[in-house]
Structure 1
């Protein structure tokens, strides 16, 4: 997919007792990427603004007065939007086509292009796993902190994923029947898993 790359490992050591392993599908820093990212953000903003105004035009046609005085300033904006050629066609769609299409377009505008997952190991404190995926809001970031007292071990295992055998790093938590998989979405290669596993055990 555009703006993404195969999962790659980044290692950061903020202090002698802390190490962070990050697996990301984002592209490495480069001049073209530096230029294209603001363009992508601008397109997102324009898309979301157009979708919002489109929804308001559907709810409050320019021929009608907005039910709330605070929305009166939108009347000329909605009238201008209605003058665009494609807008009347979109507004003429039945509600069972208009709203699902609007929701889908909004989701695409908010979709997070790359995925990033990390494991932060803090000696004598604990480990923290995090996943950044989904959309720019909603499923944005999932984080879990596990105190050292509850960490029984950090293990390197292999299992079936579809028709493939994949290696993965997991945290064994005291009192829990399920393992906490460190990179559950990306499932990086064996070499990456081995580096993370050795580094995490060494820091703990």
Structure 2
């Protein structure tokens, strides 16, 4: 329930701009809200642990803030943290703290989007960790639907042919949308970018 199958959302801020967002984030609902609230609380615990565990090594140091020293020496929870950290070597403690910190901020769902600006170009926004890229209209030779063989099946993907580049730019590379979604976005991009739909082009063939 933390993620859903990829679904498309279309936003049109103006007649000459359209944004297509593909996401695995579940649709809002009571169950989803409660579940994400629980996840948030777990994240807070993980992040707090990531901060507290390394601090136990500074208990005898003047660098440790007084509030943390009081927490470790005057509360049962603080004493429990001290006991847990005492069984870990410093390198392992650092690794555990880093893993907890990463888990507390890592996004659960995946989102990829394409922003199309008539007369300007296309901006791709990949999933978390990727860099956004803007492709000017004058460098866009074509937008195609490509066939990719995966095992014994065929998957369709949307690609942009960029002038001067050997490799095509794949849109939604991580989520790999269904064929109907690919065709819908393809038509929308051509309508907005080139002011016309044209024919569906698959692997360079109409």
State TM-score, norm by structure 1. Answer: 0.84
How far is 1:47 from its partner? 1.6
Unaligned 5+ segments in structure 2 are 194-206
More strand by share: 1
SS at match of 1:113: coil
Q: Is the 8 A contact 1:57 1:82 kept in 2?
A: no
- Mapped pair 1:25 → 2:19: no
In 2 relative to 1, CA 38–82 (structure 1 residues): closer, same or farther, beyond 3 Å?
closer
Task: Find 2:164's aligned residue among 165, 170, 175.
Answer: 175
Tell me the SS of whatever aligns to 2:126: strand
Equivalent residue, structure 1, for 2:52: 53
Bigger mean CA deviation after superposition, 31-40 or 3-12? 31-40
8 Å CA contact retained: 1:156, 1:168: yes
**CA distance in structure 2 between the aligned counterparts of 1:67 and 1:34, rounded to whole angstroms:** 40
Deviation at 1:181, TM superposition (A): 0.7
* SS, match of residue 178 in structure 1: coil
2:94 paired with 1:103? no
Task: Specify which of 119, 123, 126 is matched with residue 128 of structure 1.
Answer: 123
- Partners of 1:89 and 1:42 lie apart in 2 by 21
Deviation at 1:164, TM superposition (A): 4.0
In 2, Cα distance between equivalents of 1:92 and 1:143: 43
Shift of 1:72: 3.8
1:178 is displaced (CA, Å) by: 1.1
**Which among 109, 112, 116 is matched to residue 107 of structure 2?**
112
Cα distance in 2 for partners of 1:100, 1:164 equals: 41
TM-score by length of 2: 0.83
Compute the displacement of 1:162 (Å): 5.3
Choose from 62, 67, 92 the match for 1:66. 62
Structure 1 runs (4+) greater than 6 angstroms displaced? none
How far residue 97 of structure 1 moved from its aligned partner, in angstroms, is 3.1
Per the TM alignment, residue 123 of structure 1 is displaced from its structure 2 partner at its CA by: 0.5
Distance in 2 between residues matched to 1:114 and 1:91, nearest whole Å:
35
Give the conservation status (yes or no) of the 8 Å contact 2:126–2:132: yes
Are residues 104 and 169 of structure 1, via their aligned partners in 2, closer, same or farther at CA, if it must alter by over 3 Å? same
Helix, strand or coil for the counterpart of 2:27? coil
Give the unaligned 5+ runs of structure 1: 134-138
Aligned residues: 191
Alpha-carbon distance between aligned partners in 1 of 2:26 and 2:113, rounded to the nearest angstrom: 16
Does the 8 A contact of 2:53 with 2:93 survive in 1?
Answer: no
Measured in 2, the distance between the counterparts of 1:96 and 1:165 equals 47
